Chain A
Amino acid sequence: MQSVPTVYYVALSAILFTLGVLGVLLRRNALIIFMSIELMLNSANLVFVAFAREFGQQAGQVFVFFVMTVAAAEVAVGLALIVTIFRAKRSINVDDINQLKG
């Protein structure tokens, strides 16, 4: 039935994760950086599910469930922070947010 080797899923997940890292490194828009973080979390989920299938264990899928919950909480708080920062500075460029810089 299932014939795509697990290692292909791991490789795809590695590529998606790296694209997320690139998004965090290259873009200066805080919203895009947040979306890239979601991309990384999602690629980790893909590998969890792939190994759950490989070993026939559901624990991996349960972990994906928890990761999704944490991602939802993180997005709620993060977007609230971004809205507050935008209100104060009229910008969501992460290079402008340097008031704590020594």
Chain B
Amino acid sequence: MPVNVETVIFFLLAAMAIGAAVGLLLSRNAVHSALFLVLNFAVVSVFFLFLAAPFIAMVQVTVYAGAIMVLFLFVIMLLGAELLRGGASGRWHSALAVVLAAGFVGVLGYVAFFSGIAPEALPNVDAGFGGPQLLGMDLFQTYLLPFELTSLLLLVAMIGAVVLTRDARTRSAAGPGARP
């Protein structure tokens, strides 16, 4: 195992990411959970920078840690749901979940370490790799159709969110065709 600055930083950040995920799981206050998740997303965006993906790292910070988590915090505080206990699951249920999860991570780890992924010698990448320019070229040439489809998906999601959260009163006042 090569011991150098980058490996040390990797393990420190990995510990932070795992700690934040555990905090998300265990904290009783939903707001704390959301903030732990923001920390996790920030750490993962640093990993993206390590992996020569600067554009994705910035999108991660703005879209995930910014927009999505603000939406989560907004809904938590709108509902006043930060301290809802959400009831405890049964003891055997929790124990079974932990055992299954341990088995799952064991299988994943086994596959990862014995799959024959080359442990060393990553290829050198160009200077612009993962930057907005090259990624934009890919998005608008090779992946143009999926890119356009995502805009349709976002439109549908937007309409869906508006329709779902409409109040019953405004719905009945909306018109004669509306259901009560």
Contact = CB atoms under 8 A, between A and B. Distances in A.
A10 B10 CA distance: 13
A20 B31 CA distance: 17
Contacts of A54: 117-118, 122-123
Contacts of A26: 25, 89, 94, 97
Best-surrounded residue of A27, A81, A86 (most CB of chain B within 10 A)? A27
Contacts of A17: 108
B75 interface: yes
Contacts, number: 238
Given A49-B48, A65-B59, A84 B97 contact: no
Given A14-B112, A29-B84, A35-B24, A4 B10 contact: yes
A3 B7 contact: yes
A9 B88 CA distance: 33
Contact of B157 (A12, A20, A73): A73
A72 B78 contact: no
Interface residues of B, number: 86
Nearest to B137: A58
A53 B117 CA distance: 13
A31 B30 contact: yes
A75 B81 CA distance: 17
Given A4-B6, A35-B34, A46 B59 contact: no
B89 A28 contact: yes
B150 interface: yes
Nearest to A84: B164
Contacts of A12: 14, 17-18, 47
B72 A31 contact: yes
23 contacts: A3-B6, A7-B113, A12-B14, A16-B17, A19-B22, A19-B24, A20-B21, A36-B24, A36-B25, A52-B130, A54-B122, A58-B130, A62-B139, A64-B53, A69-B154, A73-B153, A77-B164, A79-B75, A81-B164, A82-B75, A83-B78, A83-B165, A93-B86
